Structure 1
């Protein structure tokens, strides 16, 4: 069984839970979506001030998007808007978060895991790794990367494309008063989190800042609109 259809969901009023597994003690989490068979999940994570972790790796591809705060990872500093894709088995440097931070964290293949290590696993596909500040280092592009496509007024910043699965991660932006009137479906699951802004969809209603959905394949959706921008 894949992840169930979750739409709409607003996480802001859901309390965090203490995370008490290796590599994540000193942080708290909210589950946005979960595959109950393999453990793959999307989480909102709050790293409390003083959080530290030694170098190590996960056995799942992991994506991180920093919402707030500063995260020191090895010799890098991840700030608001930083995106990282860390392939399964690739080690990352020691982590320290003196003042706390919040991030969206995605484990794409299996349940969250951490193994202390200062080396990559021999099978790690390290060439897939991405680390950049998406707000500063990625340009906006028109949303019509496929055809048929979205109406004008929707833009994207592609962050990661997986040539093995053809999955793509991106930021998207809808301009104020954006409208699209058609109903459509896709042959791939869709996942979205509203960092800021709002949107409305005919079947599922209003989604504000903090809104999230996981939409499986072949689910009809549309028409949709955005009044103030997203």
Structure 2
């Protein structure tokens, strides 16, 4: 249960005190999207002072991606492009954000609950035996861009795969579109898709996409008409195997006889996405 967000710029969100139990220091968060049924959240963390937390066990699948500044995980220093993924119930080492850091943080299939331990060895002794494949720690800058499969988008996209769950197909990856990348078709998927824009600009049927623009799109929502005005990079997540189903020559039957109101007071389609004012007016194209 998450709202269709398309598009909101991060700067249009308000700050909350960071909901990161057992941590010490100064951290704020912007809640990009949340699921109030199971606690799943997509957050932008801003360290307004040094912040840290001991080793322990998180109650949700947990991910961190460094946008600016420095994160230290278990003694390993990670700058922009640093990524950590910890499956739910798995022991995670201590983590620290230095003042000024900006970190994207995701919790999936669980809330912010966290059981602290003195060190990672103690946490490992308490971890669930079925806790999964272990912790991934990646510096994306050391990875090569690979061309995406040609089936799907009309012109090449490039990816860096950060994490993929072998059972569910859930993945997190970086995607790059070169200037001039385009696709005029409308696509929808059998899984959800969310992205945060790391840099660049794209014209899009839901509005302009630029650095800091966020989207959460539930399964089945059509989207498309892309034109990359510059090279553009995103971090993208989906909760299953992403298959592109395309619609062309699209049409929508919508309307009725207005008995006691003028046309400009007509009702809106109930599935309009959540958008922020800075994204400007939207024609409804793509719905």
Q: Normalising to structure 1: TM-score of the pair? A: 0.91
Superposition RMSD in Å: 1.7
Consecutive unaligned residues of structure 2, counting only runs of 5 or more, are 233-287
Contact map agreement 1:22 1:114 (CA 8 A) in 2: yes
* Larger Rg over CA atoms: 2
Does 2:179 correspond to 1:173? no
Determine the structure 1 residue equivalent to 2:224: 222
Cα shift readout 1:98-124 (whole Å, capped 9, x = no counterpart): 433111000011111221023231335
In structure 1, the partner of 2:149 is 144
Is 1:43 paired with 2:48? no
1:130 aligns with 2:136: yes
Q: Which deviates more, 15-24 or 2-11?
A: 15-24
Aligned position for 2:108: 108
Cα deviation digits, residues 136-176 of structure 1 (max 9, x gap): 2x22111227x3x1122321111111122111110000111
Q: Give, in whole Å, the separation in 1 of the partners of 2:144 and 2:213.
A: 24
Match 1:213 to one of 215, 234, 242: 215
SS at match of 2:141: helix
Q: Deviations over 1:1-40 (max 9, x none)?
A: x211110111124332222552345211001111111110
User: How many Å separate the matches in 2 of 1:128 and 1:150?
Assistant: 33
**Residue pairs, 1:58-137, within 5 angstroms:** 58-117=58-117, 118=119, 119-120=123-124, 121-136=127-142
- Pair 1:11-2:10 in alignment: yes
Q: How many residues align?
A: 225
Which residue, out of 183, 186, 191, partners 1:183?
186
Moved over 6 A (4+): none
Distance 2:35 2:71 in 1: 28
Q: What is the aligned counterpart of 1:159 among 157, 162, 179?
A: 162
**Would the alpha carbon gap of residues 21 and 62 (structure 1) be closer, same or farther in structure 2, given more than 3 Å must change?**
closer
Could you tell which deviates more after superposition, 48-57 or 13-22? 13-22
Query: Match of 1:99, SS?
Result: coil
